[in-house]
A and B are shown apart, each in its own frame.
Chain A
Amino acid sequence: SYVLTQPPSVSVAPGKTARITCGGDNIASKSVHWYQQKAGQAPVLVIYYNRDRPSGIPVRFSGSNSGNTATLTISRVEAGDEADFYCQVWDSSSDHVVFGGGTKLTVL
Chain B
Amino acid sequence: EVQLVESGGDLLQPGGSLRLSCAASGFTFDSYTMIWVRQAPGKGLEWVSSITSTGFTIYYADSVKGRFTISRDNAKNSLYLQMNSLRAEDTAVYYCVRDSGDYGDFWGQGTLVTVSS
B18: min CB distance to chain A, Å: 20
Inter-chain contact A102/B95, CB cutoff 8 Å: no
Binary CB contact string for chain B from 91 to 113 against chain A (1 if under 8 A, 0 otherwise): 00001000011111101111000
B11 within 8 A of A: no
The answer to whether B103 touches A42 (Cβ under 8 A) is: no
A48 and B47 within 8 A (CB): no
Question: Does B46 reach chain A (CB closer than 8 Å)?
Answer: yes
Does A35 contact B45, Cβ atoms closer than 8 Å? yes
Of chain A, the residue at the smallest CB distance from B106 is A45
Which one of B37, B44, B105 contacts A48 once the chains associate, using CB atoms below 8 Å? B105
Residue of B nearest to A100 (CB): B44
Closest A residue to B100 using CB positions: A48
* Chain A 20-47 interface residues, beta-carbon cutoff 8 Å to B: 31, 33, 35, 37, 42-45
Given the known A-B contacts A42-B95, A42-B108, are A99 and B45 also in contact in the complex, defined by CB atoms under 8 Å?
Answer: yes
**Known contacts A42-B110, A96-B59, A54 near B45 by CB under 8 Å:** no
Bound together, the chains give a CA A36 to CA B82 distance in angstroms of: 28
Closest to B104 in A: A45
Bound complex: CA of A10 vs CA of B35, how far in Å?
29
Using Cβ atoms and an 8 Å threshold, which residues of chain A touch B44? 84, 86, 99-102
Least CB separation from B45: chain A residue? A99
Q: How many Å from the CB of A72 to the closest CB on chain B?
A: 14
Supply 20 A–B pairs (Cβ within 8 Å), ascending by A. Answer: A31-B103, A33-B102, A35-B104, A42-B110, A43-B104, A45-B103, A45-B105, A48-B101, A49-B103, A84-B44, A86-B44, A88-B104, A90-B102, A95-B59, A96-B59, A96-B61, A97-B37, A97-B50, A98-B47, A99-B47
Q: List residues of B whose CB falls within 8 A of some A CB.
A: 35, 37, 44-47, 50, 59, 61-62, 95, 100-105, 107-110
Q: Using CB atoms and an 8 Å cutoff, list the residues of chain A in contact with chain B.
A: 1, 31, 33, 35, 37, 42-45, 48-49, 54, 84, 86, 88-90, 95-102
Besides A42-B110, A88-B45, A99-B46, 18 other CB < 8 A contacts?
A33-B104, A42-B108, A45-B103, A45-B104, A48-B100, A48-B101, A48-B103, A84-B44, A86-B45, A90-B102, A96-B59, A96-B61, A97-B47, A97-B50, A97-B59, A97-B102, A99-B37, A102-B45
